[in-house]
Amino acid sequence: MEIKSVCIYCASSSNISKEYFEAANRLAEILVSNNIKVIFGGGAVGLMGSVADTVLRFGGEITGIMPNFMKEIELQHKGVKDYMFVGGMHERKKKFLEYSDALITLPGGCGTFEELMEAITLKRLGIINKPIIILNTNKYYEPLIQMLKKSIKEGFLKEDHNDLWSVVDLPEEVLPAINNAPNWDLTRAMGNI
Strand-pairing partners, residue 63, are 39, 82
Measure the CA–CA gap between 96 and 100, rounded to whole angstroms: 6
Q: Report which DSSP code applies to 43.
A: B
Tell me the per-residue pLDDT of 152-168, one tens digit each, with 9 for 90 and over.
999 999 999 999 999 99
Give the H or E element holding residue 144: helix 142-153
Measure the CA–CA gap between 22 and 127, rounded to whole angstroms: 33
| For the chain, the helix, strand and coil percentages under 3-state DSSP, each to the nearest 5 | 50, 15, 35
Whether 1 shows a pLDDT value over 80: the answer reads no
Domains of the chain: 5-190 (3.40.50.450)
Whether 186 shows a pLDDT value over 80: the answer reads no
Q: What's the mean pLDDT in 80-88? A: 94
Largest CA distance in the chain: 47
Whether 184 shows a pLDDT value over 90: the answer reads no
Mean pLDDT across the chain = 94
Whether 21 shows a pLDDT value over 90: the answer reads yes
Tell me the per-residue pLDDT of 64-81, one tens digit each, with 9 for 90 and over.
999 988 876 668 899 999
